[in-house]
Amino acid sequence: MAAAAHVQRENPDAKVVVVDRASACAQGNTARSAALVRNTFTSETNLWLTDSSIDFYKHLRDDRREEVGLKLYGYLWLMDAAGLEKNRAAIERMKAHKIEVELFDRSELERIPGLRCDFAGDEEAQVLRLRNIDHGLFGAKCGQIEPDLLTQVYERDFLRLGGRFRGVLSDLPLAPYNERSVEELHANVCVRLRQVRSPLRPLPKLR
């Protein structure tokens, strides 16, 4: 739905149709998702993608007054001294990208009620291969959203811009391009849409 809304916005003259086997959107993995969001990643690409996505959710909440269930309670990554060394370059990269991260040492972490840092003599911890905790990295701009509410925002934008949604109540014959041509795939989609008696014009040819 996000892709459809963006395609429709950037191509106002196009007739964009979202076709889904479900009768409404956000019924697939989106409905099952825990929808946790974070901007703490090792790769530069993910830093750009996730940080700007969370900015967009904040924009929806604060500027557009859309309820997307955004709760930024933060993530606390726990690690031993070796883990910190392994992640040091990534942490520096995050700081260079102005990602809000803060390092805590063990004496500070031990002040958190219920958080154990020392697993010496703990059989269960040995089975789970838990290592003692020496450091914690707190990512402040991490938390969760409500995926159905976010999808509804995109859906409203999409429909307002002239897009259309069609639930076809059965699987579309989707296949990778190397197995079936794009034209054949399009033809199948058109046939299926006619079967559900949707008054649609033929889909434009894909480039």
Ligand X SMILES: Cc1cc2nc3c(=O)[nH]c(=O)nc-3n(C[C@H](O)[C@H](O)[C@H](O)COP(=O)(O)OP(=O)(O)OC[C@H]3O[C@@H](n4cnc5c(N)ncnc54)[C@H](O)[C@@H]3O)c2cc1C
Question: Which of 173/204 has CB closer to ligand X?
Answer: 173
- The residue with tokens 């709760």 is 71
Pairwise CA distance, residues 64 & 106, whole Å: 41
From CA 139, how far away is CA 41, in angstroms rounded? 10
The helix/strand/coil state of 15 is coil
Least Å distance between CB 99 and ligand X?
17
Residue 31 or 103 having the CB closest to ligand X: 31
Separation of alpha carbons 207 and 190, rounded Å:
17
The smaller minimum CB distance to ligand X, of residues 87 and 151, is found at 151
Q: Which is nearer to ligand X, 33 or 132 (CB)?
A: 33
Least distance (Å) between residue 78 CB and ligand X? 18
| Burial class of residue 113, CB neighbours in 10 A (0-12, 13-18, 19+) | exposed
Binding footprint of ligand X on the chain (CB under 6 A):
20-22, 27-30, 32-36, 171-172, 174
Q: Tell me how far apart the alpha carbons of residues 67 and 51 are, in angstroms, rounded to a whole number.
A: 19
Q: What CA–CA distance (Å, rounded) separates 50 from 43?
A: 11
Radius of gyration of the chain (CA): 23
Rounded least distance, CB 102 to ligand X, Å: 22
Q: Which residue is nearest to ligand X (CB)?
A: 28
* 82 or 169: CB nearest ligand X: 169
Q: Measured from the CB of residue 85, what is the shortest distance to ligand X in angstroms?
A: 28
Q: How far is the CB of 80 from ligand X (least distance, A)?
A: 25
| Dist. CA 188–CA 105, nearest whole Å | 59
